[in-house]
């Protein structure tokens, strides 16, 4: 089949490699023409994923019009805060409806919409199907063919099955689901908890603290996720616990790295200036705070990260407040 991948960052590049290994024709769109030229000339991505090795069945373009015309199945792998604008531009080039598979992990700040909702609102009748691909997937490890498992979810189970078959190969295995809400929220909310896990390391705290944070962080994710329509088993799976553990503990995690720097006393503006990579949890944290307030859900770790990121509070004070909260039962009625 033909597949268009929108976004030539590290994850978009890794997905383009996977699709090529599965013997599909791939068109990879890069926003930066210099990145597109580098990929074309080197068959790698020296800016975002130097380990990539693109075979001849991967073409690259800087033209959204060309990319949109290439295939009726589009993998969207752009930062969440650019997703609406890029998809709106694509819409103008569509001659017929397309299937969108999202590899983006985030929630819009202003609308508080998930990516599936943004896709539906932008494309309308030009959206023939939607799926989301998520899970514990560091791009570098996918590129070097480390065995990796993820999940693709769609309300159209046939679509989920087709993508599962199309992108599964010897080193990349997809499971399918129909819980779009749960998979989207698991992939988005874990980034906020990963920033907190980085803060723990930056403060010099140990494994006890990290284990407690991950466990209680999953509790927060599950609480908000179920309120918004996700299913509990999804948060115990690859898109929930699996992705959370990876992002909170792996040295390749962008969000964890932001937290480490915060814990060591750096200011957010300085941290973001020093990297070209996007840490989705920074913006998602604002959306999570707003969703928690809207639905009156207690999410103490996420709220403390909002205070550190946006209100200038200290990371150590955040930990102290979390430890000083009123004592309670470990598990309350989540329904």
Q: What Cα–Cα distance (Å) separates residue 83 from each residue in 23, 100, 251?
A: 27, 12, 27
190 is known as an active-site residue: yes
* φ/ψ (deg, to 5) at 245: -60, -45
What does the block give as tokens for 178? 């129909």
Give the DSSP per-residue string, 272-334: HHT-SS--HHHHHHHHHHHHHHHHT---HHHHHHHHHHHS---HHHHHHHHHTSPP--S----
Q: Looking at 2, 105, 126, 190, which residue is catalytic?
A: 190
Q: What Cα–Cα distance (Å) separates residue 77 from each residue in 6, 160, 236, 237, 290?
A: 6, 17, 24, 22, 24
Residues 6+ apart with CB under 8 A from 105: 80, 134, 187, 188, 191, 280, 284
CA dihedral 12, 16, 17, 19 (to 10 degrees): 140
Q: Which of 186, 198, 178 is nearest to 106 (CA)?
A: 186
The catalytic residue positions are 190
């Amino acid at each position: 089949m033909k597949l268009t991948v929108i976004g030539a960052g590290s994850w978009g590049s890794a997905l383009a490699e996977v699709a090529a290994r599965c013997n599909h024709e791939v068109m990879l769109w890069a926003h930066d023409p210099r990145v597109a030229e580098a990929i074309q000339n080197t068959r790698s991505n020296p800016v975002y994923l130097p380990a990539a090795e693109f075979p001849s069945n991967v073409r690259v373009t800087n033209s959204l019009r060309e990319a949109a015309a290439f295939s009726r199945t589009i993998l969207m792998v752009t930062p969440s805060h650019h997703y609406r604008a890029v998809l709106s531009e694509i819409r103008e080039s569509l001659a017929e409806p397309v299937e969108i598979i999202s590899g983006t992990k985030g929630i819009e700040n202003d609308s508080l919409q998930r990516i599936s909702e943004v896709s539906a609102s932008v494309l309308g009748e030009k959206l023939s199907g939607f799926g989301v691909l998520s899970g514990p997937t560091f791009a570098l490890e996918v590129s070097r063919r480390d065995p990796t498992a993820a999940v693709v979810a769609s309300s159209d189970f046939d679509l989920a099955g087709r993508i599962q078959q199309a992108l599964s190969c010897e080193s990349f295995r997809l499971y399918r689901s129909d819980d779009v809400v749960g998979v989207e929220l698991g992939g988005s909310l874990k980034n906020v908890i990963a920033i907190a896990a980085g803060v723990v390391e930056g403060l010099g705290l140990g494994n006890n603290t990290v284990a407690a944070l991950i466990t209680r962080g999953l509790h927060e994710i599950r609480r908000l996720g179920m309120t918004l329509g996700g299913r509990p088993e999804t948060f115990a799976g690859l898109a929930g616990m699996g992705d959370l553990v990876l992002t909170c503990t792996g040295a390749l995690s962008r969000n964890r790295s932001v937290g480490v720097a915060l814990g060591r006393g750096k200011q957010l503006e300085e941290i973001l200036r020093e990297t070209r990579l996007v840490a989705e949890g920074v913006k998602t944290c604002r959306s999570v705070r707003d969703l928690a307030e809207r639905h009156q859900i207690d999410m103490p770790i996420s709220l403390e990260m909002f205070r550190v990121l946006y209100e200038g509070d200290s990371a150590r004070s955040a930990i102290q407040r979390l430890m000083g909260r009123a004592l309670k039962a470990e598990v309350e009625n989540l329904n």
